[in-house]
Amino acid sequence: MRRPRGAAVAAIALTGALALAGCARDSSSGGGDGGGDSAAGGSGCELAEAPVADEEVAPSEVPTEDVDASELRVGLAYDIGGRGDASFNDAAAAGLDRAVDELGISPDNIRELTAGANESEDAKQTRLRQLADDGFNPIIGVGFAYAESFNVVAAEFPDVDFALVDAPADPENVTALLFAEHEGSFLAGVAAAYESENCHIGFVGGVENPLIQKFEAGYLAGAQAAAPDITIENTYLTSGSDITGFQDAARGNEAALGQIEAGADVVYHASGASGQGVFEAAFAQDVKAIGVDSDQYNQEIVGEAHEVIVTSMLKRVDVAVFDFLAAVAQDDLSVMPENFNLSVDGVGYSTSGDLLAADTIEALEGYRSEIISGAIEVPDTPSGN
């Protein structure tokens, strides 16, 4: 199964509905075990007719021509894992690196700080105050874990431009960088349906909360739109305030193995560093996997397991960070989109590895243009929630 099968590309998403070790639940949706005739790659699903891509439907972009950001001093506060996490934080780092290359920000005018595991709220606020007191402006926080801290610290520094990834904040000087994870995950679900030989797929979510449920909702909707009779395994590693589900590769491995033993042959994860365990399980069992946030096929930390990553759902935190820095540099935050969705290239799918069948890509582009045009409205909460 580890072989190229077509051009390239795919979309991803994720979330689940079960948890391990007492704070979890298992469920399957859809029915049957596939086996219907299909035009796609090796898919065992009986596939619905895919929409045809409209070449006139294309994402828009924030204008950045002639923007000079050389005077900016940028502070970046990462969530747990920081630069090098092969996921969410790395996507933010990529946006900053692009701004250095294209907007003229000096590396000497950048400070990057990283949150510790299970740290206090005071520690987060101290990190943000340190950046502001030292003259960094703008300041970007990566992840909803900074929401409370931004409400407090941004109000103390009204002349500093702040941006917060994945959560809104009350002060007027905070720009919320929000994403349509459900739209990107819809495409991941379509890709999974087309690439599955058993018509049986899985989703592993790190922490069961409203944000990760957006991944789940889109993934389920996309898979069921492409293959109404598909069977889906859902697993959450933890729930509520227990965020260790984003940091436990062993538990991710265990969850993925359980789904594979149940019959899933494509597994999508939205579980941060726990996704490493998902990839290792998929590689060991010779099934396919879908990455999340960044193009995980190209990340060194994944190692030889990258061979089974057919695509990744790209949550373009890099685009959002770059666009925000460009907007601040031109002193015009009005150019920022309210939501980074498919229409502004805020989410999408990766093309690395040349592992997706050509008809899978064709279907993905068709569904993508339908979502951008509004013909398809993707749910952002799982049915029943």
pLDDT of residue 7: 28
In a domain, 206, yes or no: yes
Specify whether 146 is located in the same domain as 245. no
In a domain, 189, yes or no: yes
- DSSP 8-state secondary structure symbol assigned to residue 271: -
Per-residue pLDDT tens digits of the chain, which is 385 residues long: 433 333 222 333 333 332 333 233 344 444 433 333 334 455 689 999 999 998 877 777 777 888 999 999 999 999 988 898 777 888 899 999 999 999 999 999 999 999 988 899 999 999 999 999 999 999 999 988 899 999 999 999 999 999 999 999 999 999 999 999 999 999 999 999 999 999 999 999 999 999 999 999 999 999 999 999 999 999 999 998 898 999 899 999 999 999 999 999 999 999 988 999 999 999 999 999 999 988 999 988 899 999 999 999 999 999 999 999 999 999 999 999 999 999 999 999 998 999 999 999 999 999 999 999 999 999 999 986 6
Tell me the C-alpha distance between 216 and 272, whole Å. 14
Tell me the C-alpha distance between 12 and 24, whole Å. 23
Can you give the residue range of the structural domain that contains 165? 74-179+321-327
In a domain, 16, yes or no: no
Specify whether 171 is located in the same domain as 185. no
Closest CA to 234 of 50, 11, 80, 383: 383
In a domain, 379, yes or no: no
Tell me the C-alpha distance between 86 and 300, whole Å. 8
pLDDT of residue 85: 77
Domain count, the chain: 2
With a CB cutoff of 8 Å and minimum separation 6, the contacts of 101 are: none
Specify whether 365 is located in the same domain as 225. yes
Specify whether 343 is located in the same domain as 299. yes
pLDDT of residue 264: 98
Specify whether 117 is located in the same domain as 266. no
Cα torsion 24, 308, 299, 70: sign: negative
In a domain, 15, yes or no: no
Asked whether the beta carbons of 32 and 247 are under 8 A apart, the reply is: no
In a domain, 233, yes or no: yes
Specify whether 365 is located in the same domain as 234. yes
Specify whether 159 is located in the same domain as 186. no
Specify whether 121 is located in the same domain as 223. no
Specify whether 254 is located in the same domain as 284. yes
Pull the structure tokens for residue 44. 């065992």
Query: How many other CB atoms are there within 10 angstroms of residue 137's CB atom?
Result: 18
Asked whether the beta carbons of 134 and 146 are under 8 A apart, the reply is: no
Asked whether the beta carbons of 237 and 271 are under 8 A apart, the reply is: yes
Residues written for the chain: 385
What is the CATH classification number for the domain harbouring 156?
3.40.50.2300
Tell me the C-alpha distance between 39 and 21, whole Å. 40
Span 68-92, pLDDT tens digits:
999 999 999 999 888 987 778 888 9
Tell me the C-alpha distance between 248 and 274, whole Å. 5
In a domain, 240, yes or no: yes
Cα torsion 330, 336, 340, 346: sign: negative
In a domain, 2, yes or no: no
Asked whether the beta carbons of 147 and 308 are under 8 A apart, the reply is: no
pTM of the shown model: 0.82
Specify whether 194 is located in the same domain as 129. no
Specify whether 158 is located in the same domain as 289. no
Specify whether 153 is located in the same domain as 224. no
